[in-house]
Structure formats: C-alpha cells, structure tokens
Structure 1
C-alpha cells in the first residue's frame, strides 16, 4: 500500500450511494455460494436489501459520529469501501470502556483486489475507531477473507457466531 493510495481513502458521500450498493452486492449476492446465513436468495431479497441499504446510507452518511463509511474512489467508480460502527456494550476485561467497534462490508471491486485497498480502508477505520475511544474491534469474516484479517491483527475468539432472524415485518419502531 503506497502513501498515495492511503491518502485516497475518504469518507463516503451521498453521491457514492449507488456505488456502495454495487460494491456491497459482491458480498451479499455472492454469499449463497459461500453458505453464509445473510445471503441473498431471491430477486425480492436483492431488491429489498438494496432499498433498505440505500435508506440507511442516506441517513448515516450525514455523520452522527457513531458510524463511518469510507471509500477509495477510482475513475468513474468506487474501488473499495468499508463501514465501522461504534457500539456501546457492557464492559469486559478486554474492553473496560464498553466501547467496541464493529467493522463490516469491507469490499474491494474484483478488478482491484490484491492492490492493498482493503488494507487501506481497514487501517483508516481502525484509526477512526481509536480516535473515538474504542477499546476493541470485532468483525465477522468469510472463509475467503479470514487470512486477510489475521494478517491485519485480528484473532479468532474461539466462540461461535450464532445467527437468528426475527420477524419484524409490518411493525413500527
């Protein structure tokens, strides 16, 4: 990763929303082949997550201080993106403040993989989280990306990540 590439990581803007959706689709819509529980399994699900993510980005790209979405721009497209969320949890020995960071949707366009862009966005978000007093960073990984995260200093916890979908359709929150 050159200093030039690292300097090109920037905060996402509302003008990036459609490209962020395109990049995230590489993760969510390729997930069925990886057997992941959050995989898109139908055209309806594809349309639904895209609409919900578009709305979520529209709300959170305004910068409330607890979420950061970063991108690496390219010629007419985004080359990579990642998201970090500051989460307040109960304190633990590893996280006395209870301030934990959750990193998600680290995606590099397939045309740009192997260029260090994933490392650049991850390093940028790690610095952003550290500046907000976050004591630990957690993420879930696909088998294909596990070595990448290990090289970045992430360790397996030995705990299983369990997943359950709750039916909240039609409920107002």
Structure 2
C-alpha cells in the first residue's frame, strides 16, 4: 500500500484539537460501555483529555502520542497513544515495564489505508526502544485482525472494570 501521502510523528500541543476530535470517534455516541451518553459527559471528558494531553505532550517519559499527518494538507488523519506502566516483575516481563496502547483511531474517511498499522508500528518501536517487552491493548472486534497481524494474541484473562462515577 502506498503511504507516501503520510508522515507519522510525535504529536505536539498544536495537534490538541485534532487529537480530541479523533478520540471523540471512540468516546462519543457509540454503543460501547465507555462511551459518553450525554452532551455533558462529552464536554467533561473532552476538557479532562485536553488537560491530560497538555501535561503529557513532549513532557513525559512514559507517554508517547503519535499523529499520522497528511504530507500535503498537514491534516492529522489518525493518532495512537502509548503508555508505560511500572509493574511488579513477572515471568513474561522481568523488568516490570508494561506497555498500554490506547486510543488508536483514524478519521473515518481515511480508514482502511494502512494508517492504523503505521501508527502501531511506531508505537511498538517506541516501546521496544524503552525495554518494554509486554504490551497490552483493548480492541474493538473490527480492529482485532490488525492487532493479531502485529503479533497480539487474545488473552485468556478476563478484563474486569470497576468505574466510579464522579460528578
């Protein structure tokens, strides 16, 4: 697939609005349990995410956000977030460094062109360069094939979530 139209680079504060709008494709108005259900919930997560992004972009050793940018227009077409957690060592992760992939999203009109794959390849290199041997992600069914092609396997562990509601 021709990817000459695309550059994957670390996201910057200048990308903030684009990153929020891309993440909205995952968090606003979907049937997912984590989706915002009201305009008020949407406004709250967007404000919190802007604050989180502002404090992490270019300033965190354990968070990296990549943006896929159209070479000609400069439009941000997709993004992906990598987070490194320090956990207790385990047989598959002796140094305790565990990676978490979050918010891999491509604008709907740009999907199925290999953009998510390129973003993931950059994330996986970033993790590997930091000694992170175990990487986890939560996926939609539609994206499962991509992640499996990149070496991820479905876990036999159950993902349980307890979510507090704060006003």
Does TM, scored on the shorter chain, surpass 0.5? Answer: yes
Aligned equivalents of 1:92 and 1:111: distance in 2?
41
After superposition, residues 75-114 of structure 1 pair within 5 angstroms as 75-114=73-112
Equivalent pairs counted in the alignment come to 165
Deviations 1:28-55 (A, max 9, x none): 11432xxx22111111110000000000
Distance in 2 between residues matched to 1:44 and 1:131, nearest whole Å: 40
Normalising by structure 2, report the TM-score. Answer: 0.92
Report how far residue 64 of structure 1 moved. 1.7
Tell me the SS of whatever aligns to 2:152: coil
Structure 2 gap segments, 5+ residues each? none
State the partner residue of 2:51.
Answer: 55
Give the alignment partner of residue 70 of structure 1, picking from 50, 66, 75: 66
CA distance in 2, matches of 1:109, 1:118: 10
**Structure 1: 5+ residue stretches without partners:** none
Tell me the residue number matched to 1:15.
14
Q: CA RMSD for the aligned pairs? A: 1.6
Cα distance in 2 between the residues matched to 1:49 and 1:141: 20
| Divergent runs of 4+, >3 A | 1-6
Q: Distance in 2 between matches of 1:142 and 1:31?
A: 12
Q: How far apart are the structure 1 equivalents of 2:30 and 2:137?
A: 16
SS at 1:9 equivalent: strand
Alignment TM-score, normalising by the size of structure 1 = 0.89
